[in-house]
Amino acid sequence: MLDHARRLVPLAGLALAITLPTMPGFSPALLAQERPEERDGGPEAAIAEAIEKLKDEGLNRSQVMETLSYLTDVIGPRLTNSPGMRHANAWTRDTLASWGLENAAVEPWGTFGRGWSLDRFSMQVVEPQCIPIIAMPKAWSPGTGGPITGKVVLLELESEEDYATYEGKLQGAIVLVSDEREVEAHFEPEATRLGDDRLLSLANAPDPADRRRQGPPSGERRRPTEEQMAAFRARAAVLAKRDKFLMDEGAALVVDCSPRGDGGTIFVQSASVPRDPDAEPQGGGSPFGGNRVRPWDPEAPAMLPQVTMAVEHYNRLVRMIKQGVEPTIEVDLRVTFHDEDLTAANTVAEIPGSDPELAEQVVMVGGHLDSWHGAGCATDNAAGCAVAMEAVRLIKTLDLKPRRTIRIALWSGEEQGLHGSRNYVSQHFGARNDDGELKTTEEYDRFAAYYNFDNGTGKIRGVYLQGNEAVRPIFRRWLQPFDDLGASTLSSSNTGGTDHLPFDAIGLPGFQFIQDPIEYNTRTHHSTMDSFERAQADDLKQAAVIMAAFAYRTAMMDELLPRKPAPGR
């Protein structure tokens, strides 16, 4: 359905005027509650004035970058259950309380596992010459127990028979396990904004429910051939034995190549745990997927130290070996595992509702506070937390007195599977049992909406509706004051990978904003260069204002925001 900026489609208003009454979940009464100024000229004028105040305060006296700097520069990496994450929980709680929010707390959501922190790391080639190496240990990697020196061996495995080539030759070795990766020149900019064509495509995206019923368009999502799947399974079966083989052979360190990025930027995540190659994969899937133990599990088996290396340095070592040279590397990797407290927590705080009849109903904003470990992680996702914190600060500073309670939640465990938000939703609102039936709490019926920010530093261009067409006419009006700031697109599309999903999964209104990508997928997302410098101040100011406006408007409605049907309730 077309719903993009009027400058792109001049007749869009006419088309929408015809089609709105046929939208799922739409009723004229619902639209009327969002247009009180047409009835009496009262409440909407006050709300519009409040929105202008939010714009003025948020664009001219913002604190979003100060908040972002503390999270990225002072606290730094915030791996779940690490000291950095616990520092972030405490600091955000105390900061929100200092701004006047109530019920500020670090709220446990359950057992996650052990934390991990990096104490010291250095790596360089020492023979046949000195080559300082750009690399980053993987999260939850064990340390080397002090400085070690070892020869570099390139592990090349095409079949199970190739393992025999390396038997007895890897004791104390630094083992390269990736193929050489091609690096191309950058002829296109690293940073981009959503152009009109992409925004129009999002606006015209079909309802996800219709798409599921009809299936993908012809030629889209072509399935792999049987031959391709057989080759993949064979390759996976060979590599599934690799980690245990390296452990058994006494290798000292496992090194892989950054899977993307160049110019010294490394994309790095979690260490891998050796798997039993004889175990049957759960669910009949890939040998990589079954019976998987996570490295943060306190009962995880022993692992080798693991490091990801910048592609240019990795490729050089591979080429040296192929030229008949045997490099020697010195590594010092020291880490601490934190298993004294396996419980993880979110930060929460509230602006209480002012209407006695609506104060128990809740509007939520948020983003995930946890991060990977390679940098201060500004765009993933200190930016989202700073935006959400700034949004509630704006509302509180202006003393706007929302009718419903506005609650901020800063999640942990997102990077390992949305754990903080999933557990919060199941504990507060509801969850599905083993039969798929939805069991809800009393809070379920008092929930208004959740607005999430977690797609980098880019400004808001609109909202993913998650197939909730009933909110389209409402959100269209709410975006109108921000058309001059570039936010005007509504898309029926679902978007995944972040913390609105647990809300959406049980039928609660949960939304992620459409954002400009900037450098998110090219430079910063899970990388060692996701630093404060990559954040765009004007974009984050705009985003905080829009998030504040959406939260405030949701809190001021006469009725709860409409929902799409929750299957299985």
Residue ending a domain, among 336, 357, 384, is 336
Backbone angles phi, psi at 84, to 5 degrees: -65, -40
Residues near 515 by beta carbon (within 8 Å), at least 6 away in sequence = 453, 455, 456, 458, 459, 460, 461, 543
Domain containing residue 146 = 116-185+241-336
User: Does residue 102 lie in a domain region?
Assistant: yes
Question: How many whole angstroms separate alpha carbon 526 and alpha carbon 278?
Answer: 32
Q: Tokens for 465?
A: 């509706």
User: Does residue 403 lie in a domain region?
Assistant: yes
Residues near 13 by beta carbon (within 8 Å), at least 6 away in sequence = 6
Residue ranges of the chain whose pLDDT lies below 70: 1-42, 209-222, 277-291, 566-569
Q: What is the pLDDT of residue 292?
A: 78
Given a contact cutoff of 8 angstroms between Cβ atoms, the answer to whether 347 and 409 are in contact is: yes
User: Does residue 211 lie in a domain region?
Assistant: no
Same domain, yes or no, for 309 and 410? no
Q: What is the pLDDT of residue 10?
A: 33
Same domain, yes or no, for 394 and 247? no
**How many CB atoms lie under 10 A from the CB of residue 24?**
14
User: Does residue 286 lie in a domain region?
Assistant: yes
Same domain, yes or no, for 391 and 298? no
Question: How many whole angstroms separate alpha carbon 259 and alpha carbon 177?
Answer: 12
Q: What is the pLDDT of residue 231?
A: 84
Same domain, yes or no, for 171 and 124? yes
Residues near 558 by beta carbon (within 8 Å), at least 6 away in sequence = 33
Question: How many whole angstroms separate alpha carbon 177 and alpha carbon 171?
Answer: 15
Same domain, yes or no, for 61 and 137? no
Question: How many whole angstroms separate alpha carbon 181 and alpha carbon 183?
Answer: 6
Q: What is the pLDDT of residue 200?
A: 96
Q: What is the pLDDT of residue 14?
A: 32
Q: What is the pLDDT of residue 219?
A: 46
Q: Tokens for 359?
A: 């104060």
User: Does residue 568 lie in a domain region?
Assistant: no
Quickly tell me which residue has 């009835």 as its tokens.
39
Q: What is the pLDDT of residue 567?
A: 62
CATH number of the domain where residue 248 is located: 3.50.30.30
Question: How many whole angstroms separate alpha carbon 98 and alpha carbon 75?
Answer: 18
Question: How many whole angstroms separate alpha carbon 265 and alpha carbon 525?
Answer: 11
